[in-house]
Chains A and B, each alone.
Chain A
Amino acid sequence: MKSYLIAILFMFGIFIYSCDEVFEYSPYVIDFEDHETNLTQKNIIALSLNNASDTLTIALTGDTHRFYDEAERMVNKLNTDFDIDFLIHTGDFTDYGIPKQYHWSNSIFSELNAPYFVVAGNHDLVSNGEEGYKEMFGNLNFSFIHHAIKFIFINTNSREYEFNGQIPDLDWLRNEINPGDDFEKVVLVFHTPPFDADFDSDLEDEFMNILHNSDNVLFATHGHLHSFNYSEPYSDGIPFVNTASVEKNEFVRVKIYNNEFTVDVIDF
């Protein structure tokens, strides 16, 4: 009888273990597969293995929220018709910040034949979304250098931190943007633009001062506003590119050549 019980318990254990996907304990359980973790680092490595051409081609998207079908069509279009070096997602990769939505969005973007980098949006940080982001991608602030351009991704979703004065982390930004021998220009990526009410207004001036004083920012790109826009909001020579809205079947293609760049909105 006892061995019978042990056998049943053992089989039930195997059953639960093998049915990892079938049973759900909570919508907030963060339990990604290995291929869904540490993606920023993995994509930086993948990008470093790419053959360098003279022109750098980048796709910009963002605010994909629950527009899964649109995002999938965009990825298919990029795979078939475009040869991009990598894709930048300017945040709101999820709508509710829940692990399942991280999984769904990543299942779509992982089909892209190019590396992809995601900065956290405010929606990605709701509930335990920040933990989900860290588990799937890594640090909220990160950077890498490609083609002598430093791409700096920074968390600017101040409202999610109750405007505590720490977000965005200006000390980190100052340090990253500081001109170095290994890069000539900077592309800054964030979700909430500094002129938005969700950005800490106490940090807005200093944020723009850092960008201005470093004198190396090629352009800044952000999301949050769901429509394409190219402007110089502070009239200080720093262009802002608001990524196009995926729900209107648009993405932005940026080509960078010799420290000059062009911006196109592409329909898919």
Chain B
Amino acid sequence: MLLIFKYINSTRKFISILLIMALIAVIGNKNTYSNEPNSAWIKHLYPDHYKVQFAGGIGFVSAGLGYDFFKERVDISYFYGYVPEWFSKEDLHSVSLQLTGKPFKIHLNSKLEYYPLNIGMFIHHTFGSEYYITLPDHYPEDYYWWSPGRTGGLFLEGQLNYQFKEPDQIFSEIGFYYRIVTRGVYLTSKISNTSIPLEDIFSLGLGIVIYY
């Protein structure tokens, strides 16, 4: 708890911590409430999935929750990401919103399905006054065209899902994904520069997703 309070030095950090606590609270999962009356509409509010991601440009480790649409062909996830000071000069707290489309699906067997090529985009906000979203007042209008506090990127992803067919399972599915990520600030740096190695603008991310 001390560790948590150490980071509550701004409202936005506090809100993000509340969101994580909410995430942990609801991870009790929506199936827990399935027998209660009048719970049908509440059920819809519970996230369809939870994700834990390593790297991928949004944190050393990130925890997310989100919803699936169109029979799991589109998902939207909201992440909180953390980079410990050990990896950088300062610890970094951030949030990101991801949209993933999964146009291809291959049934490997009755329990395994593989999404070979998901495509996605994300926006990413790092907390701290130096990572501002709108240009502070001490700059003239349009002084800098980009926002250090609102970066975004694109990714390509592969995902393998395992379906639990047995009854009374807490999760319906568990998945593993790997992705290759690039960001707007890297793409714009690479444009018209052959001297930038192409591999420098890409990085990898790995993650686990749990479906209820």
Q: Using Cβ atoms and an 8 Å threshold, which residues of chain A touch B205?
A: 23
Which partner residue on chain A sits nearest B151 by CB separation?
A27
Q: Is the interface of A mostly helix, strand, loop or mixed?
A: loop
Range for the number of chain A residues in contact with chain B? 35 or more
Q: Quick check: A26 and B146 within 8 Å, CB to CB? A: no
Which residue on B lies nearest to A104, using beta carbons?
B196
Number of A-B contacts (CB under 8 A): 100
Give the CA-CA distance A131 to B89 in the complex, in Å: 8
Contact present for B189 and A101 (CB under 8 Å): yes
Query: Among the interface residues B88, B131, B183, which one has the most CB atoms of the partner chain A within 10 A?
Result: B88
Contact B195 A28 (CB under 8 A): no
- Nearest residue (CB) in B for A160 is B138
B64 CB–A CB distance under 8 Å: no
Interface residues of B (CB under 8 A from A): 54-60, 81, 83, 87-90, 92, 94, 126, 128, 130-131, 136, 138-140, 144, 146, 148, 151, 181, 183, 185-186, 188-189, 192-196, 200, 203-205
The 5 closest A-B pairs by CB, nearest first: A23-B55, A24-B203, A127-B148, A68-B193, A29-B88
Q: Which residues of A contact B (CB under 8 A)?
A: 16, 19, 22-31, 66, 68-69, 71-72, 95-98, 100-101, 104, 108, 123, 126-128, 131, 135, 159, 162-163, 197
A-B contact pairs, 30 of them (CB 8 A): A19-B204, A23-B54, A23-B204, A25-B55, A25-B60, A25-B83, A25-B87, A26-B57, A26-B83, A26-B88, A26-B126, A27-B57, A27-B183, A28-B88, A29-B87, A68-B189, A69-B194, A71-B195, A95-B189, A96-B146, A100-B189, A101-B189, A126-B144, A126-B148, A127-B148, A128-B128, A128-B130, A131-B89, A131-B90, A162-B136
